[in-house]
Amino acid sequence: MTSVSMTVNGKERRADVEGRTLLVTLLRETFGLTGTHVGCDTSQCGACVVHVDGKAVKSCTMLAAQADGSAVLTIEGLAHGSELHPVQAAFHEHHGLQCGFCTPGMIMAAVDMIERHDARLDEATIRHELEGNICRCTGYHNIVKSIQAAADHMAGQRHPGLVQAAE
């Protein structure tokens, strides 16, 4: 057994795990954070995306021991109390989900995408960035629309006047 400690959604967490334990397994089975989904176990679907030290990673292909000492953010830690993160709010407002299985991974990937681009995102960029996330329910139209709306909102918060000037 290996002892790991990390900050998960702002709280210090520790666990003893087997060396082969995946981060997604630690989050779901040990820490009870079931919002991170297991879809394929091969890094193809993106349902398991979380942020480790501020970067989006597929937690089904990362060992828990690799996250030792890291800050991990899951979908459960994205909102501030009852106030949804702008990406979560945009997915709700623009119907960016169907069954909801891929939604946590899509949202976590979208937050990372928006933060890396620090500006408005066009449809082509969003679709390219989502290539590692699969939704089996939709044609991605409302997912893309949700991400564009969230990016516009967040760009306006970072750079007041930017959204109005661009419209």
Q: DSSP label at 50?
A: E
Split at pLDDT 50, 70, 90, the class of 96 is very high
Residue 152: pLDDT above 90?
Answer: yes
Q: Report the run of H or E that residue 88 belongs to, with start and end.
A: helix 86-93
Mean pLDDT score across all residues of the chain: 92
Split at pLDDT 50, 70, 90, the class of 4 is very high
Q: What is the pLDDT of residue 161?
A: 55
- For residue 53 the two structure tokens come to 């030290």
Domain ranges of the chain: 2-77, 86-166
- For residue 25 the two structure tokens come to 């397994």
Q: What is the pTM of this model?
A: 0.91
Residue 77: pLDDT above 60?
Answer: yes
Mean pLDDT of 33-48: 91
CATH of 86-166, one of 1.10.8.350, 3.30.465.10, 3.20.20.140, 1.10.150.120: 1.10.150.120
Residue 46: pLDDT above 50?
Answer: yes
Weakest mean pLDDT among 3-7, 63-67, 74-78, 135-139:
135-139
Taking the C-alpha atoms of residue 97 and residue 137, their distance in angstroms, rounded to an integer, is: 8
Mean pLDDT of 4-26: 98
Q: Report the run of H or E that residue 57 belongs to, with start and end.
A: strand 55-58
CATH T-level assignment (fold) for domain 2-77: Ubiquitin-like (UB roll) (3.10.20)
